[in-house]
Amino acid sequence: MRISILWYTPSPEKIISLAMRRCYSTKPIEEILKELDQKGPEYWRHLLELAFRDKSFDVIEHFYLELLVEGLAKADVADLAINFPFMQFTEFKENLWLVLLNARTLIELWYDDNYKYIAESIVREMKNANVAPIFVSVAFAGD
Amino acid sequence: MQVISLIVLLVWHTDPNPIFQASKKYGVTLNKLDLMKHIVYMFEIEDISRVTTHQLIRHRLASYDQESQRFSAASRETFVVPPSVSSKKESKELFEKTVNQVMEVFEKLVALGIPKEDARYIIPHSIKTKLVMTLSAASLQHIASLRTTPQAQWEIRSLVSKMYELAKQATPEIWNV
């Protein structure tokens, strides 16, 4: 399976942190973003670790990845489309798909024996392309 | 108390260009619906009532994170007053007086040591809230088709109309195909 990342949510760890702070803060977004910039990536990592500790995966739904996936059969796509509502597929040609998914779906694939190989390929490409390094190190620590 | 002060901001959206480049490379023509499934928007919504967010979150193909009443402070200044209520002096006064009384009770309960998560049971539905919402263009189009019609309730119609306008401005190539 060959994966290329066409696009992903800019500053994903900051966006996940924004979603988390939104639940606990009464401040308008400008102030939350300013606070997140001031505190920096180590703070975003801290918030991500809390989210993963508490399995609060709703906040990582705001991080999206758009992929080109080669080597995915139509039968696999049918299974995935049924089981993962936040995954979208458009066929480019045989075995070549435009795939959209959010980070929660990526985690769900990772912990699903049937689909772990897909998550592994995506994470490998995220590491190669240095996409969301803090997210990858928190989400897949110990793997 | 302000009548309407709804704020809707687009936090980020998918850049459609890499998708266009990839489809061109492989000689694929994407139809509008296929394209719309792959374009995502994240919105910040502020100063909307909980009446309306209850309606909003019934649209399931989206991701939401909303200000929690268990943890955040509630104040007397943060209520949405519907235009029909504020248009009459008597109804406006009655509404505002009652909300203030209720919030006094809320504050007293908290002062008595009642946890916020329990004291909030008395807070009126009209309290303002803030949330982030992430959804695809396809999902937004579906919601807009239901919530921007004249039959839709005024506050959610105003919200969804703003989201729709922001999405169209940000990515006209998706909506004007």
Question: Considering the domain boundaries, does residue A49 fall inside one?
Answer: yes
Q: Which helix (H) or strand (E) holds B134?
A: strand B128-136
What does the alpha-carbon distance between residue A7 and residue B117 come to, in Å, rounded to a whole number? Answer: 40
Predicted confidence band at B1 (pLDDT cuts at 50, 70, 90)? very low
What does the alpha-carbon distance between residue B168 and residue B162 come to, in Å, rounded to a whole number? Answer: 10
Q: What is the percent of chain B with per-residue pLDDT over 70, rounded to a whole number?
A: 97
Which residue in chain B has the smallest CA separation from A21?
B67
HEC readout, chain A:
CEEEEEEECCCHHHHHHHHHHHHHCCCCHHHHHHHHHHHCHHHHHHHHHHHHHCCCHHHHHHCEEEEEEECCCHHHHHHHHHHCCCCEEEEEECCEEEEEEEHHHHHHHHCCCCCHHHHHHHHHHHHHCCCCHHHHHHHCCCC
SS3 call for B37: helix
Which chain A residues contact residue B134 at CB under 8 A? 61-62, 64, 102
B67:A19 CB<8 A: no
Question: Considering the domain boundaries, does residue A69 fall inside one?
Answer: no
Burial A32-53 (b: 16+ CB within 10 A, else e): bbeebeeeeeebbbebbeebbe
B63:A90 CB<8 A: no
Please report the pLDDT score of residue B70 as a whole number.
82
Write the pLDDT tens digit of every residue in B87-130: 999 999 999 999 999 999 999 999 999 999 999 999 999 999 99
Q: Which domain holds residue A29?
A: 2-63+103-139
CB of B33 less than 8 A from some CB of A: no
What does the alpha-carbon distance between residue A13 and residue A18 come to, in Å, rounded to a whole number? Answer: 9
Question: Considering the domain boundaries, does residue A47 fall inside one?
Answer: yes
Quote the minimal CA–CA distance from B166 to chain A in Å: 17
Question: Considering the domain boundaries, does residue A72 fall inside one?
Answer: no
Q: The sheet that has B63-66: what strands, in order across it?
A: B7-13, B40-49, B128-136, B63-66
What is the overall mean pLDDT for chain B?
Answer: 93
Dihedral, CA of residue B105, residue B47, residue B157 and residue B37, to nearest 10: -120
For chain A, which ranges sit under pLDDT 70? 142-143
Which residue in chain B has the smallest CA separation from A8?
B14
Q: CB of B128 within 8 A of CB of B49?
A: yes
Q: Which of A24, A59, A90 sits opposite B38 (nearest CB)?
A: A90
CB of B38 less than 8 A from some CB of A: yes
CB of B19 less than 8 A from some CB of A: yes
Which residue in chain B has the smallest CA separation from A23?
B67
Q: Could you give the count of Cα atoms lying within 13 Å of B128 in the half-sphere of its Cβ?
A: 23
Report ipTM (2 d.p.): 0.96
Which residue in chain A has the smallest CA separation from B13?
A9
Domains in chain B (CATH in brackets) are 7-76+127-175 (3.30.1360.170)
Q: Which of B12, B72, B131 sits opposite A24 (nearest CB)?
A: B72
Question: Considering the domain boundaries, does residue A34 fall inside one?
Answer: yes
Q: The sheet that has A2-8: what strands, in order across it?
A: A2-8, A64-70, A96-102, A88-93
Q: Which of A26, A68, A86 sits opposite B67 (nearest CB)?
A: A26
Question: Considering the domain boundaries, does residue A134 fall inside one?
Answer: yes
Task: Show the DSSP H helices in B39-80 as ranges.
Answer: 50-56
Write the pLDDT tens digit of every residue in B4-33: 689 999 999 999 999 999 999 999 999 999
Question: Considering the domain boundaries, does residue A129 fall inside one?
Answer: yes
Domain count along chain A: 1
Q: Just list the catalytic residues of B.
A: 147
B30:A62 CB<8 A: no
Quote the minimal CA–CA distance from A141 to chain B in Å: 25
Residue B2 has pLDDT above 80, yes or no: no
B64:A58 CB<8 A: yes
Please report the pLDDT score of residue B71 as a whole number.
76
Question: Considering the domain boundaries, does residue A96 fall inside one?
Answer: no
What does the alpha-carbon distance between residue A51 and residue A86 come to, in Å, rounded to a whole number? Answer: 19
